[in-house]
């Protein structure tokens, strides 16, 4: 029985275009066509025959032609779009600016600050009388405080305005971020085009322009953009798992199952499809529309429940599929979580994991410091007022006391505001968005933002050869025809006419009809190659032989092809069967030379006669011809044919029997030159600590030659070049199972994997990622262009799809699309990824310095002067500088080549390096010395009145204004220092190239001048004179000079500064413990861990005391530690021996260690210093 699934459905004769001469409305309604697409298999075919008679009648009702497609009449196209709809599913409605403002107001810290400001504002209108301060506190009102009570409302209003400013900035950043994400999604959608027949010509149009009645050309690797009916297909297999959930590929044919659905993938074959339903009328659109309505209804109903559950609102991000598809996956994931107690968690990106842990650690430390600040202020006020001064609580003084308590509370909250790293997410977002925008110009279309920074940590790249390392401009340069080897393309007269005619048919008929040559864009240029580049090279070979392939295509249209075995990674070949005039069949085959050659039993000689092709002769041709071509880096393709009798007709499904006993016609050597920029790009990768591996389907000789030209392998290196069979033999055991131990012996030396299948690529990528033989886990990037590359692209840390040669399936599975298919674009992605990582590190170095100084200043001021030298509004201004402005300035630094001259950071390396910690503490010491000097001796140095111990509502003082101004100017100069995080001396290098940075620094300085000179009471500032300004500027510029001093000190001497903040490995927090030990009672676990810590703490202290008692200064150290221990309140109830902020650490030398780094026991009971999470 003949498989008619690979032949045309001959229901339509060639005719005049049906749109001509027809007017009025369309006969078939969208609802009618939707109902038709809901049926599958033979039932759908039966329904078509009942309703329309045949495909030709359906085409006429849709006013289209199965052969010519739609006309190019714009007016007709607009009418179709109005009637049938546009091929676009409306995206989820974006959040309004007011919604974003409301979300920004939900921040807990800001809510606390708002409440405190409102209370302060309300109390400011209550005036207990001029003599109440004297009665309640014993502090008579000074003449300078006249009007101070009336102006008390200013501070509350200023705090509310500052909160409003922070909210507006946050909402604007979220709005711009969402707009950028939308723009990125639109860019991805615009990049997707599809081939349709318009007025008899095959053209590429955007998917959104496809309409009902279009005739679409579908091929291997396509993602179907609309619902349709198959008109003609060749060996067509569809993956419908996205809609039906069935993983098996479904064979489609025009006479059995012609229904094709949008969102499904073409896994094999090709064909033509009549578009029946588009957009919201397609099956995918209907599902998404229903889901969207359901999601909205669910959101309305379950809003309160979600709030109680603490579920955070979803953020719109660029997606691999439309928003609603992700909503489905999210719902399914939630259901799976409910069913399974231990769901597998997706591994966070390198930077994401480190930042999450760092933010938690800093936030807890900030919360502790703010709580301690409030407690000390309240205790100090209470002790001073009711114990030392011996006053009693008077009911008339309640308002005064509450005003002081609110003031202390506001100070504590502002300490928390400054300490909490709110700018971290903003800095990450800005850096990623900026990088994505710039990467587009470098031919990298980023589909998932975290792929940017992950690529910066890549340690291995598995790259394709064709089109990535080479130009993908293929040309036949050598040939073996008629048993004769030609080192150059032979003249037509050197080949017999019969042989040449047979070769012409073998190439034209057995190439996809979508592959073609077009005239050059520039006069005298090369022909433009459209479609498969290897097939284009063969068609160009015919041009050299003075043969016209178009004539044969007109003689044998695609509909007359009897059977087509399309190319796939398993066959490594393509075969086409046609029926000859005398009734017998002729099969043409082309493919990998060593595979097709083994299927040949005869060969056509120079005289056009058939001669036996013995194995010895095959071996001779392999060595003298194919290996010779491959050694020069040529891709070798063998072309063969076979005549098959019509009676009996063979079983076309028995592929191994049909494609056998071939006659060798020709072997061609196709040159695909290495891209000129690739060797330099690979050298940069190697210098950057990245191993490049070539994974290709070409034979081993060609792959080795290209790898040598690219610089992947070099003489004298210890490397492996393997074929797929050898690779599998080395890594599999006797049962055919992959063993990681065997794989670990292969992949470190492997540089070239030839004749590999997509499964081999996936195995290699998975093996490298799962390997534990190195110090850290490998971060692997993979390039792919084929449909079957999808699993490897998904498994890789970063998947790169080819924008030109890549299939829609590969693009859907990828993280980044390379729009020019060039390997050098991957190197640019590495550079941008490392730049993202460095930008975040720069921002962290700057922010943590501000955090440390501001928190210590506020805490110390509260403890000693019962007030913070930096007021609430000033703290919010500093917070705005270090969060929004600094993140924008430092996150937009352009990358440099220096980024590629160091090794990747790796997953286990701390986010804050030793050099960064040295800079943070070094600059923090300088700023603290300056601030404390100004705080306790500023009035003497500048000859002004002291601002310490000022009464409530006192006017701003020059003293505290100088402190505030010097602090901000030091941060501005330290922002310049933060541009370099690897110990570089020249912090101004390349500063002129970042206009955003320069603008923000200048703008911040100008704003500071306005705040100091004209801010007045709202900012607690009084104008400064020129001399005071110059001193403040000199103290700020001193930061730059001090930075040079710090750079002189090698970081290697500061081993005790090795920060473990943000470290991922073995950093098991309470949330992770809860996931692993969900069934264990939490109280029991805490008790056991407390007991372990208690005994280990005692043991450590005993060891350290024995060491330190030998030192002469031990008594002094003991008193200092004891004093700190007495000053610090306990913050938890677990048993722990505590020495305050400084405590002994196990070492041969006596040394102090920062408080929140303390011993903890992990699940393996190993002693490690890790951040304390119990604060």
For residues 251 and 257, what is the distance between their CA atoms, to the nearest angstrom? 8
Cβ-based neighbours of 84, under 8 Å, separated by 6 or more: 26, 30, 211, 212, 277, 278, 281
Q: Which two tokens stand for residue 104?
A: 């920004």
Nearest C-alpha neighbor of 964 from the set 1015, 1001, 905, 924: 1015
Q: Which two tokens stand for residue 583?
A: 């009734």
Cβ-based neighbours of 990, under 8 Å, separated by 6 or more: 894, 896
Environment class of 1000 (CB within 10 Å of its CB; exposed 0-12, middle 13-18, buried 19+):
buried
Q: Which two tokens stand for residue 272?
A: 């033509």
Q: How many CB atoms lie within 10 A of CB 64?
A: 25
Is residue 781 classed as helix, strand or coil in its secondary structure? strand
For residues 208 and 77, what is the distance between their CA atoms, to the nearest angstrom? 13
For residues 47 and 886, what is the distance between their CA atoms, to the nearest angstrom? 65
Is residue 236 classed as helix, strand or coil in its secondary structure? strand
Nearest C-alpha neighbor of 752 from the set 462, 370, 545: 462
Backbone CA torsion sign across 1075, 1076, 1080, 1081 = negative
582 classed as catalytic: no
Is residue 3 classed as helix, strand or coil in its secondary structure? coil
Q: Which two tokens stand for residue 547?
A: 């043969």
Helices 914-942 and 958-977 pack at an angle, to 10 degrees, of: 150
For residues 187 and 182, what is the distance between their CA atoms, to the nearest angstrom? 9
For residues 969 and 529, what is the distance between their CA atoms, to the nearest angstrom? 61
Helix (H), strand (E) at residue 1090: helix 1082-1108
Catalytic residue, candidates 133, 209, 239, 464: 464
For residues 208 and 490, what is the distance between their CA atoms, to the nearest angstrom? 47
CA 1076, 1080, 1085 angle in degrees (round to 5)? 95
Cβ 980 vs Cβ 843: under 8 Å: no
For residues 224 and 192, what is the distance between their CA atoms, to the nearest angstrom? 11
Secondary structure (DSSP) of 241-289: HHHH---SPEEEBTTTB-EE-TT-EEEEEEEEEEEEE-GGGSHHHHHHH
Strand partners, 574: 590
Q: Which two tokens stand for residue 258?
A: 């012609």
179-202 burial, b at 16+ Cβ within 10 Å, e below that, comes to ebbeebbeebeeeebbbbbbeeeb
For residues 218 and 833, what is the distance between their CA atoms, to the nearest angstrom? 36
CA 527, 529, 532 angle in degrees (round to 5)? 155
Cβ 1124 vs Cβ 1142: under 8 Å: yes
Strand partners, 591: 573, 638
Q: How many CB atoms lie within 10 A of CB 61?
A: 17
- Separation of CA 360 from chain center: 23
Q: DSSP class of residue 473?
A: -
Q: Which two tokens stand for residue 1066?
A: 């073995």
Cβ 158 vs Cβ 1018: under 8 Å: yes
Is residue 484 classed as helix, strand or coil in its secondary structure? strand
For residues 946 and 958, what is the distance between their CA atoms, to the nearest angstrom? 8
Residues with active-site annotation: 464
């Amino acid at each position: 029985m003949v498989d008619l699934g690979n032949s045309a459905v001959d229901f339509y004769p060639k005719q005049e275009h049906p749109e001509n001469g027809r007017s009025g409305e369309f006969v078939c309604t969208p609802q009618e066509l939707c109902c038709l697409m809901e049926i599958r298999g033979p039932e759908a075919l039966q329904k078509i025959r009942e309703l329309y008679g045949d495909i030709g009648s359906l085409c006429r009702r849709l006013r289209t032609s199965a052969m010519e497609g739609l006309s190019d009449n714009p007016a007709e196209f607009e009418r179709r779009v109005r009637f049938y709809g546009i091929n676009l599913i409306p995206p989820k409605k974006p959040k309004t600016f007011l919604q974003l403002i409301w979300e920004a107001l939900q921040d807990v810290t800001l809510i606390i600050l708002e409440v405190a400001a409102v209370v302060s504002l309300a109390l400011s209108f209550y005036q207990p009388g001029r003599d109440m301060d004297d009665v309640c506190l014993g502090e008579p009102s000074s003449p300078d405080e006249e009007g101070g009570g009336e102006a008390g409302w200013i501070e509350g209003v200023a705090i509310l305005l500052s909160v409003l400013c922070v909210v507006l900035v946050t909402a604007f950043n979220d709005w711009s971020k969402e707009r950028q994400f939308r723009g990125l999604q639109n860019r991805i959608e615009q990049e997707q085009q599809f081939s349709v027949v318009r007025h008899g010509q095959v053209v590429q149009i955007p998917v959104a322009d496809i309409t009902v009645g279009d005739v679409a050309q579908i091929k291997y690797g396509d993602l179907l953009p609309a619902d349709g009916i198959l008109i003609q297909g060749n060996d067509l297999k569809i993956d419908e798992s996205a809609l039906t959930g069935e993983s098996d590929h479904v064979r489609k044919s025009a006479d059995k199952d012609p229904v094709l659905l949008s969102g499904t993938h073409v896994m094999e074959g090709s064909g033509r499809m009549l578009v029946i339903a588009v957009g919201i009328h397609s099956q995918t659109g209907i599902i998404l529309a229903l889901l969207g309505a359901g999601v909205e209804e669910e959101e309305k109903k379950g809003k309160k429940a979600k709030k109680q559950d603490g579920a955070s609102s979803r953020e719109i991000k660029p997606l691999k599929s439309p928003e609603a598809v992700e909503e489905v996956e999210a719902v399914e994931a939630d259901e799976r979580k409910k069913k399974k107690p231990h769901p597998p968690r997706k591994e966070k990106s390198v930077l994401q994991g480190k930042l999450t842990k760092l933010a938690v650690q800093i936030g807890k430390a900030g919360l502790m410091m703010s709580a301690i600040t409030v407690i000390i202020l309240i205790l100090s006020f209470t002790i001073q007022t009711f114990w030392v001064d011996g006053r009693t609580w008077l009911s008339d003084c309640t308002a005064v006391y509450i005003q002081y308590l609110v003031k202390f509370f506001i100070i504590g909250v502002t300490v928390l505001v400054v300490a909490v790293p709110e700018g971290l997410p903003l800095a990450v977002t800005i850096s990623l968005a900026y990088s994505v925008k710039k990467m587009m110009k470098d031919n990298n279309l980023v589909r998932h933002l975290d792929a940017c920074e992950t690529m910066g940590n890549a340690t291995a790249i598995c790259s394709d050869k064709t089109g990535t390392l080479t130009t993908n401009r293929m040309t036949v340069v050598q040939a073996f025809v008629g048993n004769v080897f030609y080192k150059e393309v032979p003249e037509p007269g050197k080949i017999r006419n019969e042989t040449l005619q047979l070769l012409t048919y073998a190439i034209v008929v057995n190439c996809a009809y979508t592959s073609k040559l077009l005239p050059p864009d520039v006069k005298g240029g090369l022909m433009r190659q459209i479609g498969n580049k290897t097939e284009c090279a063969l068609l160009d070979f015919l041009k050299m032989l003075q043969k016209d392939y178009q004539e044969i295509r007109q003689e044998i249209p695609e509909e007359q092809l009897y059977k087509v075995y399309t190319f796939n990674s398993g066959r490594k070949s393509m075969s086409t069967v046609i029926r000859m005039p005398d009734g017998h069949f002729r099969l043409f085959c082309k493919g990998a030379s060593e595979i097709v050659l083994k299927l040949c039993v005869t060969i056509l000689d120079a005289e056009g006669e058939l001669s036996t092709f013995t194995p010895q002769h095959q071996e001779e041709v392999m060595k003298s011809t194919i290996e010779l071509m491959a050694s020069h880096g040529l891709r070798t393709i063998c072309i063969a044919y076979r005549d098959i009798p019509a009676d009996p007709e063979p079983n076309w499904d028995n592929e191994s029997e049909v494609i056998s006993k071939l006659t060798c016609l020709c072997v061609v050597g196709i040159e695909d030159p290495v891209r000129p920029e690739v060797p330099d790009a690979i050298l940069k990768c190697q210098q950057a600590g990245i191993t490049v591996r070539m994974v290709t389907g070409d034979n081993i000789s060609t792959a080795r030659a290209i790898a040598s030209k690219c610089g992947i392998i070099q003489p004298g290196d210890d490397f492996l070049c393997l074929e797929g069979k050898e690779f599998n033999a080395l890594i599999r055991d006797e049962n055919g199972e992959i063993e990681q131990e065997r794989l670990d012996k292969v992949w470190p030396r492997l540089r070239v994997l030839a004749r590999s299948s997509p499964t081999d690529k996936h195995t290699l990528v998975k093996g490298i990622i799962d390997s534990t033989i190195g110090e850290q886990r490998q971060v692997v990037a993979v390039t792919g262009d084929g449909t079957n590359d999808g699993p490897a692209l998904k498994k890789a840390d970063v998947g790169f799809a080819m924008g030109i040669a890549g299939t829609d399936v590969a693009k859907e599975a990828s993280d980044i699309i390379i729009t020019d298919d060039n390997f050098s674009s991957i190197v640019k992605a590495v550079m941008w990824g490392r730049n993202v990582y460095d930008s975040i590190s720069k921002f962290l170095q700057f922010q943590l310095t501000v955090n440390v100084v501001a928190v210590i200043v506020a805490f110390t001021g509260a403890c000693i002067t019962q007030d913070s030298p930096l007021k609430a509004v000033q703290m919010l201004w500093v917070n705005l500088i270090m969060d929004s402005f600094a993140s924008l300035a430092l996150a937009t630094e352009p990358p440099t080549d220096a980024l590629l001259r160091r090794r990747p950071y790796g997953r286990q390396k701390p986010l804050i390096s030793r050099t960064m910690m040295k800079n943070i503490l070094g600059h923090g010491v300088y700023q603290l010395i300056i601030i404390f000097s100004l705080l306790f001796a500023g009035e003497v140095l500048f000859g002004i009145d002291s601002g310490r111990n000022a009464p409530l509502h006192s006017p701003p003082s020059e003293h505290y204004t100088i402190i505030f101004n010097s602090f901000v100017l030091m941060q501005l100069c330290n922002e310049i220092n933060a541009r370099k995080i690897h110990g570089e001396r020249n912090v101004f290098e390349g500063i002129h190239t970042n206009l955003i940075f320069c603008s923000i620094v200048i703008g911040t300085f100008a704003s500071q001048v306005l705040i100091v000179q004209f801010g007045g009471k709202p900012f607690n500032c009084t104008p400064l004179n020129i001399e005071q300004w110059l001193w403040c500027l000199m103290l700020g510029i001193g930061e730059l000079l001090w930075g040079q001093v710090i750079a002189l000190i090698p970081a290697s001497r500061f081993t005790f500064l090795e920060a473990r903040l943000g470290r991922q490995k073995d950093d098991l927090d309470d949330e992770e413990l809860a996931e692993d030990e969900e069934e264990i009672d939490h109280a029991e676990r805490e008790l056991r861990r407390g007991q372990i810590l208690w005994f280990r703490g005692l043991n450590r202290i005993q060891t350290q005391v024995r060491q330190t008692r030998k030192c002469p200064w031990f008594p002094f150290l003991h008193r200092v530690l004891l004093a700190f221990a007495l000053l610090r309140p306990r913050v938890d109830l677990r048993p722990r021996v505590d020495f305050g902020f400084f405590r002994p650490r196990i070492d041969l030398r006596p040394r102090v260690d920062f408080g929140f780094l303390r011993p903890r026991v992990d699940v393996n009971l190993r002693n490690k210093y890790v951040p304390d999470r119990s604060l």
